[in-house]
Amino acid sequence: MSPKDCGFGKVAVLMGGRSAERDISLMSGQGVLEALRSQGIDAQAFDPAERDLGDLRKEGFARCFIALHGRFGEDGTVQGALELLGIPYTGSGVMASSMAIDKAMTKRLLRSENLPTPGHVLLRRGGYGPADIDALADALGLPLIVKPAREGSSLGLTKVTRRAGLAQAVALAEKMDADILCEQFVKGDEVTCPVLGSGTQARALPVIRIVAPEGNYDYQNKYFTDTTQYLVPCGLPAGEEQAIQQLVLQAFGLLGCRGWARADVMIDQATRQPFLLEINTSPGMTSHSLVPMSARAAGISYEMLCLEILKTAALDQPPQSAAA
C-alpha cells in the first residue's frame, strides 16, 4: 500500500512559531515537509506565528506533524489547542509536553522514582539575592551549569567555572525565563538517546555519543559547525548503551510521553553512572539533528522516520470518547 492510500489525509507540518528556537523549527519543518511530500503525503507548511490555528479545521487538515521547538509548540499549548480542534498530532500530549519542557519539573519526577539526575538549585525571578547566587558554588560545586528552566537548544546556557561568573550566567538565563535552573556539572561522556513509539511499543534507538570542541556543546556547535563529532555506534563499554536505553525508556514512560522523544544523558567519568538531564518531546529534525542520525544507524531513513512518527499522531481525548 502506498502512503497515498494510508489514510493520512491532508497533513499540516507546524513549523516556525514564536519561540526563541523559531529558526531551528523552520529548518526542521522544511525537512519534514519535503520528506513527507516525497512519500506522496499531502503535506503543507503551517506557521502558527503567522496563521490562526483555527484555520487547520477550516481547511480540512486531518492531522498535524509538530516540528515546533520550545515554547508555544513543545510545551503543551499547541497540543491543547489541537485537542480542542480535534485534530490528531504527533508527539506527547498536553500534560507530558508541559512537564517535559520544564527541566525542574522533570527533575522532580525523576527523583520521585529514584532515577538519576544531577543535583540542582532552582532560582525564581524576584525571589533571590546576591547571597543566593554566591551560595550556588557551595551547594553544587564548580563548574556548574546555569540555564533557563524552559528553553531548548542550549539557549541561555552557561557553564560557570568561577564564582565571579555566576551573577552574569544567572542574569543571562533570567532574560529567557523566570525560573533559572542551576545544575551540578557532570564531567564525562555526553550522550543522547531517541525513543520511537508509545506505551509497551516504545523502543530506544541507538545511543549517540557527542564530542564537542572543548566539551562545549552550545547553540553554535549544535547547528552551525561541522567540528562536533557524533559517534554512532557510540563506542561505550559493553552494557552501558543498553543501560542508558533502559533508563531513557523509564523516563519516557514516567513522564507519559508518546510517539517520539529524545533524552540527553551525561555519564560520570569516574563512576560511569548515567544522569538524565532532560527529555525533548519535539526534537530537532534538521540536517544536524540527532534523532535522524540515530534512526539511520538503526536502518531507518529520514523519510521512513517521518512516516513512522506521523503514524503515531493521536489525541489525549479522542472525539468518540468525548461523545460517549
Decide: 179 and 122 in contact? Cβ < 8 Å: yes
Q: Which stretches of the chain drop beneath a pLDDT of 50?
A: 1-3, 5, 321-324
pLDDT on residue 2: 47
Query: pLDDT tens-digit profile of 274-319?
Result: 999 999 999 999 978 999 999 999 999 999 999 999 999 999 988 7
pLDDT on residue 324: 43
CA distance 210 to 288: 12
Q: Which of 183, 278, 282, 289 is catalytic?
A: 278
Let me know if 278 is a catalytic residue.
yes
Cis status of the peptide bond prior to 319, with omega within 30 of 0: no
Q: Which of 17, 29, 259, 284 is catalytic?
A: 284
Domains of the chain: 3-90 (3.40.50.20), 99-116+186-308 (3.30.470.20), 120-184 (3.30.1490.20)
Decide: 230 and 244 in contact? Cβ < 8 Å: no
Q: Which of 17, 19, 21, 93 is catalytic?
A: 21
Let me know if 21 is a catalytic residue.
yes
Q: Which of 264, 282, 289, 294 is catalytic?
A: 264
Let me know if 262 is a catalytic residue.
yes
Let me know if 280 is a catalytic residue.
yes
pTM of the model: 0.92
Let me know if 296 is a catalytic residue.
no
Q: Which of 262, 282, 289, 294 is catalytic?
A: 262
Give the number of other CB atoms < 10 A from CB of residue 289. 20
